[in-house]
Amino acid sequence: MLHKRFQRTERWKRVSVAFLGGQGISLVGSGLVQFAIIWYVTLRANSGTSMMIITLASFIPQLLVAPFSGVWADRYDRRWLVILADGGIALATLALAVLFLLGYDHIWFIYVAAMIRSFGGGIQGPAINALIPQITPRKDLLRINGVNSTINNVSSLLSPILGGALLSLFPLWVVFMIDVVTAAISNIIMFFLPIPNHKTGKVVTALGVEPKLREGESWGFPGVDDEVPAEEKVSDDEVVELVTAETIGKQFRQGFAYVKSRRPIRNLMLTYALFMVLLAPIVILTPLFIRRNFGEEAWLIAAVQTALFAGMAVGGLIVSIRGKFRSHLQVVRGSGFLVAGCTLILAIMGMMPLPPFSFFAILAFALGVIVPFYTTAVTTFFQQNVERSYHGRVFSLLYMIGSAAIPLGTVLFGPIADLFEIAHILLTTSVTQLLLLLTTFKTVPTSFESSIQVTEEAEDNVVDTKNSDHSSQ
């Protein structure tokens, strides 16, 4: 019995490890290119307008495509969305590498490539977040999301380090080609990975080949191994007819109406949106805060960014090792309070005689450790409490919020930083964050998640009973 259950668990774990590993490889390549693009625009143009253009080119397309990509993620095979989006990004980067190799290094080529890469990322992001609960048992979602968060944060930590080293040794087009290679590796893995169709539940590779299992084994994917009555099964032809019966606009409006009609989900999403916008000053004004308070040396900013991303990598690792929270909602609140508290401490530091810079770096590391708890708990909460058929559209909304927060925060708080002390801005945003989180005790009651957990425990008991019956036979 134990041996068979071990085999069952190993099957979905192998798929998840391969999926996250492939995406991590691609992410490192994308991070290198993003660093190279910012480096090139900064040195070549040396213009605030150029930095504004590259920022808008990197964010606006993914915001525009996100409503469509959410519907596509619910309508079509998410595997192919990831493959095509990653492949499109790689082709744009390949074209850019060839142009630079031939000496056509016009800066507007960089802008166009950044727009295409942003467009592809806007398709890929919601599809990945919707695909994770498709291949991960509900009880293991937090652990897998923690691993995914760790991979993302390690990539963010390594990209500037590796990018700076590579750019000092090779021409720019070589760095671009690295992204092409990593995307190809990721897509090859995705192509041969057995993944259940999110509508039919049939486990196949990209070619439609159904891998064989040994006797007594099962995949362990959520819903795939459950016995479905014949009258409830849906054929592939019926799926195609169902998903193409309505327009994309109507399906997106249905997803928006779904969120709107479920008060706790709607309120948490609104809280998440406002919280992320209020978090923007920490991201965009920290370099300016360092310059005004500690000095203009480049290593100061590099040290803080390294401490922040290292903390985020450690935080994601802790979440993945822990693997389970009693209440994701309470973790969202608790980590949110800690983030706001760190911002408040930073604001107080700016209004008093400054401590040594090392204290500031330690605070950045602590903030980094906390952030994955917040983002992972939010993601897992929506994965568990949103109906599967709406995952793509709901995560496209979350993706839009995450993508819009920094540009919107830049527009709101950037000009204000020229009129007021940054410490006063951070004080205002941190206090507002604390008040916002306090309102969630009423707007998103803990009883909502408790009722969901009771249902999940009952379902898990049924599954365990089935497994015991099968193994005893």
Mean pLDDT of all residues in 431-449:
84
Q: In angstroms, what CA-CA distances link 319 with 140, 251, 313, 371?
A: 11, 34, 10, 11
Q: How far is CA 422 from CA 148, 303, 349, 393, in A?
A: 33, 20, 11, 37
400-419 in b/e form (b: 16+ CB < 10 A) is bbbbbbbbbbbebbeeebee
Ordered by where they begin, the domains of the chain are 1-245 (1.20.1250.20), 248-473 (1.20.1250)
> Token pair of 451, please?
């009722």
**What is the rounded distance in angstroms from the CA atom of residue 109 to the CA atom of residue 177?**
16
Residues 192, 200: contact at Cβ < 8 Å? Answer: no
CA–CA separation, 11 and 7 (whole Å): 7
Contact in structure between 221 and 10 (CB atoms under 8 Å):
no
Confidence (pLDDT) at 115: 92
Cα(317)–Cα(308) distance, integer angstroms: 14
SS (H, E, C) 212-240: CCCCCCCCCCCCCCCCCCHHHCCCHHHHH
User: Using CA of residue 346, residue 347, residue 349, residue 350, what is the dihedral sign?
Assistant: positive
Phi, psi of 204, rounded to the nearest 5 degrees:
-145, 165
**What is the number of residues in the chain?**
473
Nearest to 263 by CA among 396, 448, 70: 448
Q: Where are the alpha helices (DSSP H) in 193-326?
A: 236-243, 248-261, 263-293, 298-322
Q: Which of 108-112, 209-213, 262-266, 383-387 has the highest mean pLDDT?
A: 108-112
Write the pLDDT tens digit of every residue in 340-395.
998 898 888 878 777 788 888 888 899 889 988 888 888 888 888 888 777 778 87
Asked if 382 contacts 55 with a C-beta cutoff of 8 angstroms, the reply is no
Taking only the tens place, the pLDDT of each residue in 299-335 is: 777 777 788 888 888 888 888 887 778 888 888 899 9
pLDDT at position 189 is 92
* Residues linked to residue 155 through DSSP beta bridges, in sequence order: none
> Which residue type is seen at 164?
G
Count of beta carbons in the 10 Å neighbourhood of residue 43:
9
Average pLDDT over residues 176-183: 92
Amino acid at position 371, single letter: V
